[in-house]
Amino acid sequence: MSMFALASNLLFAQGGLGSWNIFSTKAAISDRWGVFLEGQVRSLQFYNNFHYHELKGGVSYALDKNFSFAVAAGKYDTYQEGGDFVTPKASDEVRLFEQMSMSQYLHRIKFEHRYRAEQRFTKNGYRNRFRYRMQAIIPLNGLKIEPKVWYFSGSGELFFTDTPAYFERIRTYVGFGYQLSKNIGLQAGYLHQFDYKLVDETGKDFLQVSLLWDMRLHRKEQEKIPSQVD
């Protein structure tokens, strides 16, 4: 696990680094249908000043191994700065979203394109948001993601709204992952967020750590692109 320790030391040295912690679980209940659940906790300093948490879940449907659709709902809470979960909340949000994901395979490189529409119910009113994320996964000591394989993970995501100034946020991530077993993987890396900032969280730089649990409740197996729901 030395890669994770090295990444943590390098990132922590930057200063002003927050923590972004994710537990994501998915379960394929048939060849096409699946369910997912994800929880997150974030802090503005390195495991200090926790200011945000969310919990969301939904249902997915795969047209084939390369195309899938999902619908989900979640609760998203942002707190004041200056401590752990300082009230009153800065944002108290319920969110619905629909998304389409498309996978591409170029030799060892696995790409995922994700398109999402969100309906956001906040204490400041209703808002729409639209997101596009492209993610790349590159196995480092194997040809595909399987137990005991390390991999590089990188992604970029754009956020838009349907009201001025339209552009809302850009989020970039680089990191490494390790597939512990057929069902469980770990990821750690650096995430930078540029925010136009309307009512959302503050914070620009994070060490992101993810535990990914991908359950398969039926017999069919196929290569998966490990990723969070976020």
Q: Which long-range contacts (CB under 8 A, 24 or more apart) does 215-220 make?
A: 215/25, 215/26, 215/27, 215/28, 215/183, 216/27, 216/28, 216/182, 216/183, 217/27, 217/28, 217/29, 218/28, 218/29, 218/30, 218/31, 220/31
How much is the pTM? 0.89
Instruction: Kindly report, residue by residue over 204-222, the tens digit of the pLDDT.
Output: 899 999 999 998 766 555 6
> What CATH number belongs to 2-216?
2.40.160
Q: For the chain, which residues make up each domain, given as ranges?
A: 2-216
pLDDT at 1: 46
> Which of 219, 217, 184 shows the shortest CA–CA distance to 29?
217
Instruction: Kindly report, residue by residue over 25-41, the tens digit of the pLDDT.
Output: 999 888 899 999 999 99
In the chain, what percentage of residues exceed pLDDT 70? Answer: 87
What is the residue-averaged pLDDT of the chain?
89
Element (H, E) at 6: helix 2-12
Instruction: Kindly report, residue by residue over 121-171, the tens digit of the pLDDT.
Output: 998 899 999 999 999 999 999 988 999 999 999 999 999 999 888 999 999
Confidence of residue 14 (pLDDT cuts 50, 70, 90): very low
